[in-house]
């Protein structure tokens, strides 16, 4: 079974964060209440969808990256540095034909770290499979011509 766009995008974001911050744990969900400190949690916050012509549709996918800092005193400066780095890391994620560009990004500093949001625009086109002509049959016997 092939993965959907949401799962593919989420995995690409997680890989990009793991590559940039190898010393931090990255969760594919909200950061657990007693999760590791200096860790990231990646969730899909919302998906807005609009139908287009010929079965196509466009989506705006909002990915939320939550970060928890280790110490309360240095939380704001450390969080600000990491949030600024995420602007570069998450602007373009993926590889080859699965590249996603963030059209809008912003972050909010919280008391324990920050919450970073990136909005990705995706246009989905259906795969059209054309029916090919089959060999003709007449009274149960295959006919030579087409």
Better-predicted residue by pLDDT, 7 or 142? 7
**Strand-pair category, 57-68 with 39-51:** antiparallel
Residue 20 has pLDDT above 70, yes or no: yes
What pLDDT, in 10s, does the model give residues 86-131? 999 999 998 887 889 999 999 998 877 889 999 999 988 887 777 7
The overall average pLDDT reported for the chain is 83
Instruction: Give the global pTM.
Output: 0.77
| Packing angle, helices 75-89 and 5-20, rounded to 10 | 120
Alpha-carbon distance of 87 to 92, in angstroms, equals 9
Other CB atoms within a 10 A radius of the CB of residue 84 amount to 10
Per-residue confidence (pLDDT) for residue 47, from 0 to 100: 93
Domains of the chain, each with CATH number or no CATH: 5-142 (3.30.2000.10)
SS3 116: strand
Q: In sequence order, what are the residues at sequence separation of 6 or more whose Cβ sits closer than 8 angstroms to the Cβ of residue 145? A: 136
């Amino acid at each position: 079974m092939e993965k959907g766009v949401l799962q593919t995008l989420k995995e690409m974001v997680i890989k990009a964060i793991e590559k940039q911050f190898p010393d931090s744990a990255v969760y594919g969900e909200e950061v657990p209440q007693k999760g590791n400190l200096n860790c990231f949690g990646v969730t899909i916050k919302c998906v807005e969808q609009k139908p287009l012509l010929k079965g196509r549709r466009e989506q705006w996918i909002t990915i939320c990256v939550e970060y928890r800092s280790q110490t309360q005193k240095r939380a704001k400066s450390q969080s600000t540095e990491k949030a600024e780095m995420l602007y570069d890391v998450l602007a373009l994620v993926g590889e080859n034909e699965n590249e996603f560009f963030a059209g809008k990004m912003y972050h909010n500093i919280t008391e324990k770290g920050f919450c970073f949001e990136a909005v990705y625009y995706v246009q989905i086109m259906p795969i059209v499979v054309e029916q090919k002509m089959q060999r003709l049959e007449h009274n149960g016997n295959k006919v030579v011509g087409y």
